[in-house]
Amino acid sequence: MARRNGPRFPGLSMSKSDKEQNHAVNGLEPRLSRASVGRFSLYLRRLQRFLREGVPTVSSGMLGEALGITDAQVRKDLAYLGNLGQPGIGYPTQELIDALRGRLGINRDWTAVVVGVGNLSRALLRYRGFEKQGFRFVALFDVDPEKVGQQVEGIDIYALESMPEIVRNTGAELGVVAVPAEAAQAVADALVAAGIRGILNFAPTALRLPAGTSLIAVDLAVQLEQLAFLVHLNQGPIDHTSPTH
């Protein structure tokens, strides 16, 4: 996953100097690590499932067990949310969910647009889980004039030219880039120019964005390569009798 070294994430990294100031007065609490944030979404989804299953309180052990994370790690992470846990009992599921949603910034709705109408976009749009988390796709864009004017999953497809207008009208903040690598940078630039605040990039290329625009990159080919590498390691030089669990 591409990582830009330019922009720091405000509120994420903290210097030693903050160390003394343990108790945050409001908003920004102790130190929120990037790694913890990476797990928050996982906690959230699992907790919602626990809730559906009628589990009123969860322990760090249960959560960790379900996600393949140590209990200590879970407690450290959840401590960032304030003192929600009750010794001897655990964490109230619903309260934890609310706190996580607040911390992740998804206790509100987000509107997003998608550029590039292909199979990947269709897969994304068809996954109804987004709506439950407050994400709403409001417009699609494609270069192909044939596609413009049509709909996918009930969402209109527009020409790239109308991007500034549509983004302004819908107030969309997030943009998904699902176009070939060659077109990706231009599309990203257009999204930024149109006022988009964050980009989820599926094109197999590194994007350059101005500071102030957030970026998450998902490179499917890279994932497969890494899997091959892991398998390569697992069966190569290791000739031990691995205790299968």
Partner DNA sequence: GGATGTGAACGACTTCACAGCG
Partner DNA sequence: CGCTGTGAAGTCGTTCACATCC
Binding positions for DNA, rule: CB under 7 A: 4-5, 8, 13-16, 18, 22, 33-36, 58-61, 69-73, 75-76, 78-79, 83-91
- 60 is in the binding site of which of its own copies, DNA, none (Cβ under 5 to 8 A by kind)? DNA
Pairing of strands 57-58, 91-92: antiparallel
Residue whose CB is less far from DNA, 33 or 94: 33
Decide if 96 contacts 84 (C-beta within 8 A).
Answer: yes
- Tokens for 91, please give them: 């964490």
- 90 is in the binding site of which of DNA, its own copies, none (Cβ under 5 to 8 A by kind)? DNA
- 36 is in the binding site of which of its own copies, DNA, none (Cβ under 5 to 8 A by kind)? DNA
- 146 is in the binding site of which of its own copies, DNA, none (Cβ under 5 to 8 A by kind)? none
Residue whose CB is less far from DNA, 73 or 94: 73
CB of 71 to DNA, least distance (A): 6
Determine the angle formed by the axes of helices 71-79 and 60-67, rounding to 10 degrees.
110
Phi-psi category of 90—alpha, beta or left, where left has phi over 0 and alpha has psi -120 to 50? left
CB of 210 to DNA, least distance (A): 19
Residue whose CB is less far from DNA, 16 or 108: 16
Residue whose CB is less far from its own copies, 144 or 161: 144
CB of 197 to DNA, least distance (A): 22
The alpha carbon of 154 is separated from its chain's Cα centroid by a whole number of angstroms, namely 24
**How many CA atoms within 13 Å lie on the side-chain side of 240?**
6
CB of 93 to its own copies, least distance (A): 18
CA dihedral sign of residues 193, 197, 202, 208? positive
- 75 is in the binding site of which of DNA, its own copies, none (Cβ under 5 to 8 A by kind)? DNA
- Tokens for 68, please give them: 């393949």
- 211 is in the binding site of which of DNA, its own copies, none (Cβ under 5 to 8 A by kind)? its own copies
CB of 126 to its own copies, least distance (A): 6
- 182 is in the binding site of which of DNA, its own copies, none (Cβ under 5 to 8 A by kind)? none
d(CA 64, CA 71) in angstroms, rounded, equals 5
Residue whose CB is less far from its own copies, 82 or 229: 229
Residue whose CB is less far from its own copies, 38 or 161: 38
CB of 25 to DNA, least distance (A): 11
How far CA 104 is from CA of 37, 43, 46, 101, 168, in Å, comes to 8, 11, 15, 5, 24
Which ranges of the chain would DSSP assign to H, the alpha helix?
34-52, 60-67, 71-79, 93-104, 119-126, 129-132, 163-170, 181-194, 220-235
